[in-house]
Amino acid sequence: MAVDAHGGDHGLSATLPAAFAALREDSGIEIVMVGRREDIEAALADTPDASDKALRERLDFHYVESALPMDVRTVTALRKGEGSSLWEAIRLVADARADGCVSGGNTGAMMALGVRLVGMLPGIERPVLMAYIPHASGFTAALDLGANLSVTERQLVQFAVMGSLTAEKVDGIANPRVGLLNVGHEESKGHMIVQAAHALLKEVPINYIGFVEGNDLYAGTVDVAVCDGFSGNLIIKASEGLARMTMSQLRQAFAGSLRGRLGAWLARPALVRMLAGLDPSAHNGAPLLGLRGVVVKSHGHADDKAYMQAILEAAQAARKELPQRIDSLIQQYHLEA
């Protein structure tokens, strides 16, 4: 796995411990940290796991001169990003020197460089970003989350196929339920594109259950929810905002009085279980589906625990040969855009 050492808000303070944690968690992977030599050497001196010889044997380094800032413009990444840590990490995948790449860097830059360096699978127009929304008993995979603001019906069908395969092969969900996001469950509702996609999806060999609404994502009604990037981005941002507001109000309620603090102490075991289920780090790692290789986006402000999950997610996708499986199914059922 190629890891962009400088990708994300925390840089090496998250990526290097995450790399060692992933090596410890999965004995079948090796990691190449891509970053500036002086920064990596300084971080290694402050990382306790760096003294573990067994882990160090599976950790290599690819040194570069620069790193792209988190707010880099996509056009700047394409024109001036060559030689940066993100560019080189993705290039290792393109050159078949790594089986997958993980970065917490700028999403637009990752997508553009992924398309330019790794390339798209035949018949797929653009990559799609897939992420996970927690519900009461697990997670719902949602795509697209912002890569494609407007889509065609055939692109929605491709998203559904790619999401279904990822849920099955990477996340281990047998016969995943796939739904198409709409303003209602009724067959007559929705604009022309979702209506056309709905008709096409009935003919595709996945477990398509029909239209779903926004509340279904949090109820666990489906394993995979398909939508355009405009809707998906609104959903994921609104979900993050609601989660932050809920946690803030809980803290205020429990800290406001002696009775509140006592209630917090009594409720602590239940709260810990609830928060563990909602912890986004438990399923960090949004794959860019539709590329010829495995490229996984970590959340920009992910800590080392969350970043480790993204590395493990990428390793699983590479083991299952996810791009090749997607290509095979798209071609087999003539779903090219």
Structure tokens at 305: 């625990």
Q: How far apart are CA 280 and CA 137, in angstroms?
A: 14
What's the pLDDT at 274?
56
pLDDT in tens, 8-43: 999 999 999 999 999 999 999 999 999 999 999 999
CB 130 within 8 A of CB 95: no
Superfamily of domain 130-279: Isopropylmalate Dehydrogenase (3.40.718.10)
What's the pLDDT at 193?
94
Superfamily of domain 1-127+290-321: Isopropylmalate Dehydrogenase (3.40.718.10)
Nearest to 29 by CA among 296, 317, 322, 326: 317
- Domain coordinates in residue numbering, the chain: 1-127+290-321, 130-279
What's the pLDDT at 284?
80
pLDDT at 336 over 70: no
Q: What average pLDDT score do residues 135-144 get? A: 85
Q: What is the pTM of this model?
A: 0.86
What's the pLDDT at 304?
92
pLDDT band at 110 (very low <50, low <70, confident <90, very high): very high
pLDDT in tens, 169-189: 888 899 999 999 999 899 888
15 Cβ neighbours under 8 A, 6+ residues apart = 3, 4, 5, 6, 7, 8, 33, 35, 104, 304, 307
pLDDT in tens, 258-301: 776 777 666 666 665 655 555 555 568 889 999 999 999 998 88
